[in-house]
Amino acid sequence: MDVLTVVEQLCDSYNLNLERYRSVSGGDISQAFQLTTNKGNLFLKLNSDSSAGLMFEAEALGLKTISDTHVIATPEVIGIGQIENQFYILMEAIETDQGSDESMARLGKQLAQLHQITADQFGFENDNFIGSLKQYNDWKDSWSEFYILKRLLPQLHLAVEKGLMKHEEVPSAELMMKCCDRLCHDVKPSLLHGDLWGGNYLISKDGVPVLIDPAVYFGHHEVDIAMTKLFGGFSNAFYNAYEACFPTTPGYEDRIRLYQLYYLLVHLNLFGLSYYGSVSRLIKQLF
């Protein structure tokens, strides 16, 4: 079924009059479109992969979880479902502007407020996805146990399974937990976006920060900051506002590398050997 037919059926399902649609940049995982309708502009993602239905359900839950905190905006989800072989998520489209120092400071402050929302354990109510890869969120009392067993080891094992790393390059769980215990003290669970690179926030025309494409769970707040720094970093205004609420503490730079390892492993498993060198260097530095 072609895209236009899917879009037309979708609009019929939601009583929308379609004026036009166009392909837009929406990431590396799904096709993305902006729909102009009688009820305004909407954003649509389509994916025919067998796991896409679960992926979009997890995305919708993550957006709702963040939205329900009332501390930072997310797009309103109109609906999720399936038309023929295409799974979809339909949501409000955000008219964007280039971020100013003021809007970036607002993003930093609001992210810190999100991180002040806590839980009794590390994890989340269900598993979700980081990109198209499964992210396991079983509740754990220990941050080191959660991060090593539910974040690093699954990605390391997947890299070996894909032939991207050798088995002997994978550090033992015990060694990695010792490192995490040494670097991470008095960690409290914070509600995380989970995948906060520069493509996963928007600044609206009104200067309002909006989070998209979350991979939410309760973890160490510095995990989100590590991701912001991985591909060039955010602005000084963002970090200054964030650190007014969460000042850096000893071991910060080592923890940032420890948490960036997860995201580099994800990129290795999604996009291939171009990320192997970065992964290998970090493993040698940390363990």
Query: Strand, helix or coil at 157?
Result: helix
CA distance 271 to 112: 31
Non-local CB neighbours of 253 within 8 Å, separated by 6+ positions: none
Asked whether 99 and 107 are in contact (CB, 8 A), the reply is yes
Dihedral sign, Cα of residue 183, residue 248, residue 131, residue 189 = positive
Catalytic residue among 12, 28, 138, 195: 195
Please name the fold of domain 3-92: Phosphorylase Kinase; domain 1 (3.30.200)
Burial of 8 (0-12, 13-18, 19+ CB in 10 A): middle
Q: Confidence band (pLDDT; 50, 70, 90) for 62?
A: very high
User: 23: how many CB neighbours lie within 10 A of its CB?
Assistant: 10
pLDDT at 98: 86
Task: Give mean pLDDT, residues 165-184.
Answer: 97
* DSSP output for 47-103: E-STTHHHHHHHHHHHHHHHHTTTSSB-PPEEEEEEETTEEEEEEEPPPB-PPPHHH
* For residue 26, pLDDT beyond 90: no
Average pLDDT in the chain: 96
> 253: part of which helix (H) or strand (E)?
helix 252-271
Structural domain boundaries of the chain? 3-92, 101-286
Does the active-site annotation cover 28? no
* Average pLDDT rounded to a whole number, residues 193-220: 96
pLDDT confidence of 1, banded at 50, 70, 90?
low
What is the average pLDDT across 190-217? Answer: 96
Chain-centroid distance of CA 159 in Å reads: 20
Mean pLDDT of 182-189: 95
Distance CA 184, CA 251 (A): 8
- For residue range 114-160, list pLDDT tens digits in order: 999 999 999 999 999 999 999 999 999 999 999 999 999 999 999 99
Please say whether the structural domain 101-286 has been given the CATH code 3.40.640.10: no
Average pLDDT of the segment spanning 69-83: 97
Number of C-alpha atoms within 13 angstroms, CB side, residue 36?
A: 7
Structure-token match 């492993």, residue found: 265
Q: What is the dihedral of CA 191, 27, 257, 150, to 10 degrees?
A: 60
